Amino acid sequence: MSVLVVGTTALDSIKTPKKENPKLLGGSASHAAVAASFFAPTRLVGVVGGDFPAKYIRLYEKHGLCLKGLDRVKDGRTFHWSGEYEVNMNNRRTLETVLGVIEHWQPAIPGDYESCPYVLLANIAPAVQLRVLDQVARPKFVVADTMDLWLNIALDDVMRLLKRIDCLVLNDSEARQLTEDDNVVSALPKIHRMGPRYVIIKKGEHGSILSSPKGLFVAPAYPLKKVVDPTGAGDSFVGGLMGYLASRKSGSIDSNLRRAIVHGAVVASFCCEGFGLTVTTKVSREDIDARVRELESIAGLD
């Protein structure tokens, strides 16, 4: 089955202590859709400006993404984020954000996308995420990602969104902010009460925690010897997770979600090994499957 991914399509300029990388392909939807495409047919809904390089369109196409829902505003500028990482790669500082064409974008879901069973609302304004939900027929599984910015400036929209999704993905500091609870484990039931039956808390190098009707699942991250650029890792994680779920021919969401999380974690690990999408777009499904087997063995008791 197919995955519909909505989110930002961006140009990212990323500075690390060692390197500067201008105008890489970035954005939550780019990372998530490429990650999902390893497992299932993926439809990308987003918006770019006239400055969006043709080579990035070709990169999307190389991954078989359906681009019917990618708006192209010829006289507009693509959303541009620039940021800087500190030596330990854990602290990120935004240097500049140019919203460009994304500022007034109203996504229109192509007619034949409406029945897409897996809907991934990657990180973007919750008003946009809600607008997408208004246009799709009862999907089988809706996952939304968010970020601290929306908790700060659009909390009402986030709360409305939470009532309409199956699963919320957020990082540990966002979970603390949303619930005003210092302990992420006790924050989980509070988030469930806001709406979603499934909550996944991302903890970066420390893995993730899933809270579901089946209980908790503590998932490891793939232990990386070197992190080059973690930008997009969370988007890759949730994209890989949704792609894997959509690829399952049998089993319930509950029975597939743990392995889906492991697959998402593996795509995220590749993402961290290069700037932007440079490594993710070079790996194969076989590379992913091999690392999944490795991670399963690293986390197994026997």
Which residues contact a second copy (rule: CB under 8 A)? 87-89, 182-183, 185-186, 203, 206-207, 209, 215-218, 220-221, 223-227, 258-259, 262, 296-302
Contacts of 261 (CB under 8 A, 6+ apart): 200, 208, 210, 217, 219, 241
- Nearest CB to a second copy, comparing residues 205 and 287: 205
| Least gap, CB of 183 to a second copy (angstroms) | 6
Per-residue exposure over 24-51, b if at least 16 CB sit within 10 Å of its own CB, e if not: bbbbbbbbbbbbbbbbbbbbbbbbbbee
- Nearest CB to a second copy, comparing residues 103 and 296: 296
- Nearest CB to a second copy, comparing residues 71 and 273: 273
Burial class (CB in 10 A: 0-12, 13-18, 19+), 107: middle
| Least gap, CB of 123 to a second copy (angstroms) | 23
Q: What angle do CA 222, 244, 204 make, to 5 degrees?
A: 30
Beta bridge partners of 70: 46
DSSP state, residue 222: P
| Least gap, CB of 274 to a second copy (angstroms) | 16
Query: How many H helices and E strands in the chain?
Result: 10, 13
Instruction: Give kind and range of the element (H or E) at residue 148.
Output: helix 148-153
| Least gap, CB of 55 to a second copy (angstroms) | 32
| Least gap, CB of 30 to a second copy (angstroms) | 26
- Nearest CB to a second copy, comparing residues 138 and 225: 225
| Least gap, CB of 173 to a second copy (angstroms) | 11
| Least gap, CB of 186 to a second copy (angstroms) | 4
Beta strands across the sheet bearing 92-98? 20-26, 10-15, 79-85, 92-98
- Nearest CB to a second copy, comparing residues 164 and 259: 259
Tokens for 128, please give them.
């946009």
Give residue for tokens 């029975």: 255
Burial class (CB in 10 A: 0-12, 13-18, 19+), 134: exposed
- Nearest CB to a second copy, comparing residues 89 and 194: 89
- Nearest CB to a second copy, comparing residues 213 and 215: 215
